[in-house]
Amino acid sequence: MSEKSILKEQLLTYDHFWIKVEYNSPTALVKIGLKEDVIKTIGQIDAFRALPKGRCVNRGYPFGSIEHGRKILILRSPITGSIVEVNEEVIKNPQLINEDPYGKGWIAILKPSNVEELDALL
């Protein structure tokens, strides 16, 4: 899969993430995942950790990490909000991020506290 196959509803950020705004709730929810080019650069992902559901995160601050080889990539939130869901399947099987980054390999869903921050994304 390539970045060309990203759904039109998804927005790319300036950093490592893609996000998809979902409006199937009273407020917008934002699904986050790693972009394919980042995954190709870091290689096989060995572990994924994230802050628990309900935690608030600020834009630019860590909300999780990915281990690959002997290195750790700190995941910094592209938006300010609260964590609604963390992909438990990816915690159990982090290779899903490598195999299907725009599908089953999503990382977390956040509820933005400032929807205007979405305007700063590509």
At 14 the pLDDT is: 61
At 117 the pLDDT is: 80
At 122 the pLDDT is: 57
Residue 39 inside a domain? The answer is yes
Q: Which domain holds residue 104?
A: 3-115
Residue 121 inside a domain? The answer is no
At 23 the pLDDT is: 72
| The total number of structural domains that make up the chain | 1
Residue 122 inside a domain? The answer is no
Residue 120 inside a domain? The answer is no
The CATH number given to whatever domain includes residue 92 is 2.40.50.100
Backbone angles phi, psi at 117, to 5 degrees: -60, -25
Residue-wise pLDDT tens digits, 47-92 = 999 999 999 999 999 999 999 988 999 999 999 999 999 999 999 9
- Report pTM: 0.84
Residue 56 inside a domain? The answer is yes
Residue 69 inside a domain? The answer is yes
Residue-wise pLDDT tens digits, 7-22 = 445 666 667 888 888 8
At 13 the pLDDT is: 67
Residue 9 inside a domain? The answer is yes
